[in-house]
Amino acid sequence: MDRNGYPVRQYSQPVKRYCQTMDITDDDKLISAYRECHSRSKAWREILDGIREVGILEMEMYILGNKVFMIVETPLDFQWDEAMAKLATLPRQAEWEKYVSMFQGCDPDATSDQKWQLMERMFYLYD
Protein backbone atom coordinates (compact mmCIF):
# COMPACT_ATOMS: atom_id res chain seq x y z
CA MET A 1 0.00 0.00 0.00
CA ASP A 2 1.36 3.43 -0.91
CA ARG A 3 0.04 6.23 1.27
CA ASN A 4 1.71 8.70 -1.10
CA GLY A 5 -0.71 7.72 -3.87
CA TYR A 6 -0.06 6.52 -7.38
CA PRO A 7 0.87 8.85 -10.24
CA VAL A 8 -1.63 9.10 -13.08
CA ARG A 9 -0.48 9.30 -16.68
CA GLN A 10 -1.43 12.40 -18.64
CA TYR A 11 -2.61 11.96 -22.22
CA SER A 12 -2.60 14.36 -25.16
CA GLN A 13 -6.28 13.57 -25.67
CA PRO A 14 -9.32 13.29 -23.43
CA VAL A 15 -9.87 9.81 -22.04
CA LYS A 16 -12.60 7.90 -20.32
CA ARG A 17 -12.38 5.35 -17.55
CA TYR A 18 -14.05 2.02 -16.89
CA CYS A 19 -13.98 0.43 -13.45
CA GLN A 20 -14.48 -3.26 -12.81
CA THR A 21 -14.39 -5.57 -9.83
CA MET A 22 -14.03 -9.25 -9.09
CA ASP A 23 -13.75 -11.40 -6.00
CA ILE A 24 -10.99 -13.98 -6.28
CA THR A 25 -10.65 -17.17 -4.29
CA ASP A 26 -10.12 -16.33 -0.62
CA ASP A 27 -6.97 -18.36 -0.11
CA ASP A 28 -3.69 -16.69 0.84
CA LYS A 29 -1.54 -18.96 -1.35
CA LEU A 30 -3.77 -18.48 -4.40
CA ILE A 31 -3.93 -14.72 -3.83
CA SER A 32 -0.13 -14.61 -3.65
CA ALA A 33 0.13 -16.60 -6.89
CA TYR A 34 -2.47 -14.33 -8.56
CA ARG A 35 -0.45 -11.27 -7.58
CA GLU A 36 2.72 -12.90 -8.91
CA CYS A 37 1.23 -13.81 -12.30
CA HIS A 38 0.28 -10.14 -12.73
CA SER A 39 3.74 -8.85 -11.82
CA ARG A 40 5.83 -7.14 -14.48
CA SER A 41 8.21 -10.09 -14.66
CA LYS A 42 5.50 -12.77 -14.94
CA ALA A 43 2.70 -11.16 -16.98
CA TRP A 44 2.47 -12.73 -20.43
CA ARG A 45 3.75 -10.40 -23.17
CA GLU A 46 0.97 -11.45 -25.59
CA ILE A 47 -1.66 -10.44 -23.06
CA LEU A 48 -0.11 -7.02 -22.48
CA ASP A 49 0.22 -6.49 -26.25
CA GLY A 50 -3.41 -7.54 -26.78
CA ILE A 51 -4.67 -5.08 -24.18
CA ARG A 52 -2.95 -2.28 -26.08
CA GLU A 53 -4.04 -3.65 -29.47
CA VAL A 54 -7.73 -3.27 -28.62
CA GLY A 55 -7.19 0.40 -27.74
CA ILE A 56 -6.73 0.37 -23.98
CA LEU A 57 -4.29 3.09 -22.94
CA GLU A 58 -3.82 2.07 -19.33
CA MET A 59 -5.00 -0.69 -17.03
CA GLU A 60 -4.45 -0.79 -13.29
CA MET A 61 -5.46 -3.43 -10.79
CA TYR A 62 -5.79 -2.92 -7.05
CA ILE A 63 -6.32 -5.60 -4.43
CA LEU A 64 -7.66 -5.71 -0.88
CA GLY A 65 -7.93 -9.20 0.57
CA ASN A 66 -9.69 -11.21 -2.12
CA LYS A 67 -11.33 -8.19 -3.81
CA VAL A 68 -9.73 -6.92 -6.99
CA PHE A 69 -10.56 -3.59 -8.61
CA MET A 70 -9.52 -2.67 -12.15
CA ILE A 71 -9.33 0.75 -13.78
CA VAL A 72 -9.20 0.86 -17.58
CA GLU A 73 -8.44 4.13 -19.38
CA THR A 74 -9.33 4.49 -23.05
CA PRO A 75 -9.81 7.15 -25.74
CA LEU A 76 -13.28 8.71 -25.81
CA ASP A 77 -14.26 6.82 -28.99
CA PHE A 78 -13.46 3.41 -27.42
CA GLN A 79 -16.28 0.88 -27.80
CA TRP A 80 -16.24 -1.53 -24.85
CA ASP A 81 -18.23 -4.42 -26.34
CA GLU A 82 -16.31 -4.39 -29.62
CA ALA A 83 -12.94 -4.22 -27.88
CA MET A 84 -13.76 -7.05 -25.47
CA ALA A 85 -14.98 -9.24 -28.35
CA LYS A 86 -11.73 -8.60 -30.21
CA LEU A 87 -9.61 -9.16 -27.08
CA ALA A 88 -11.15 -12.61 -26.61
CA THR A 89 -9.82 -13.66 -30.05
CA LEU A 90 -6.22 -12.49 -29.65
CA PRO A 91 -3.23 -14.84 -29.25
CA ARG A 92 -3.08 -16.67 -25.94
CA GLN A 93 -6.00 -14.72 -24.46
CA ALA A 94 -8.18 -17.82 -23.99
CA GLU A 95 -5.18 -19.66 -22.53
CA TRP A 96 -4.57 -16.78 -20.09
CA GLU A 97 -8.22 -16.68 -19.04
CA LYS A 98 -8.18 -20.42 -18.42
CA TYR A 99 -4.97 -20.10 -16.39
CA VAL A 100 -6.14 -17.23 -14.14
CA SER A 101 -9.57 -18.82 -13.63
CA MET A 102 -8.01 -21.10 -11.00
CA PHE A 103 -7.47 -18.01 -8.83
CA GLN A 104 -10.77 -16.38 -9.73
CA GLY A 105 -13.10 -19.30 -9.07
CA CYS A 106 -14.62 -18.75 -12.53
CA ASP A 107 -15.53 -20.91 -15.48
CA PRO A 108 -12.20 -21.69 -17.21
CA ASP A 109 -13.81 -20.95 -20.58
CA ALA A 110 -15.15 -17.52 -19.56
CA THR A 111 -13.79 -14.43 -21.27
CA SER A 112 -12.39 -11.51 -19.33
CA ASP A 113 -15.55 -9.54 -20.00
CA GLN A 114 -17.67 -12.37 -18.59
CA LYS A 115 -15.64 -12.52 -15.36
CA TRP A 116 -15.16 -8.88 -14.48
CA GLN A 117 -18.18 -6.83 -13.44
CA LEU A 118 -18.40 -3.26 -14.72
CA MET A 119 -19.10 -0.84 -11.90
CA GLU A 120 -21.40 2.17 -11.91
CA ARG A 121 -19.94 5.51 -10.90
CA MET A 122 -22.05 6.91 -8.09
CA PHE A 123 -20.00 10.01 -7.16
CA TYR A 124 -17.40 12.33 -8.58
CA LEU A 125 -15.86 15.61 -7.44
CA TYR A 126 -15.06 17.17 -10.82
CA ASP A 127 -16.49 20.64 -11.44
Q: What is the pTM of this model?
A: 0.92
Strand segments (E) across 24-123: 58-64, 67-75, 117-118
Query: Of 108, 103, 106, 109, whose CA–CA distance to 117 is shortest?
Result: 106
Q: What is the pLDDT of residues 45-99, one digit of tens each?
A: 999 999 999 999 999 999 999 999 999 999 999 999 999 999 999 999 999 999 9
Query: Over 90: is that where the pLDDT of 123 sits?
Result: yes
Confidence of residue 126 (pLDDT cuts 50, 70, 90): confident
Kindly list the strands in the beta sheet with 15-23, ordered across the sheet, starting from the edge strand earlier in the chain: 58-64, 67-75, 15-23, 117-118
CA-CA distance, 42 to 36, in Å (whole number)? Answer: 7
Which residues are within 8 A (CB) of 111 and not within 5 positions of it... i.e. 6 or more apart?
84, 87, 88, 93, 94, 97
Q: What is the 8-class DSSP label of residue 28?
A: H
The pLDDT of residue 80 is 97
Query: Over 80: is that where the pLDDT of 110 sits?
Result: yes
Question: Domain locations in the chain?
Answer: 16-118
Q: What is the 8-class DSSP label of residue 106?
A: S
Q: Which one of 3.30.70.100, 1.20.1740.10, 3.40.50.150, 2.120.10.30 gives the CATH number of domain 16-118?
A: 3.30.70.100
Which residues are within 8 A (CB) of 18 and not within 5 positions of it... i.e. 6 or more apart?
71, 72, 74, 80, 118
Average pLDDT estimate for 103-114: 93
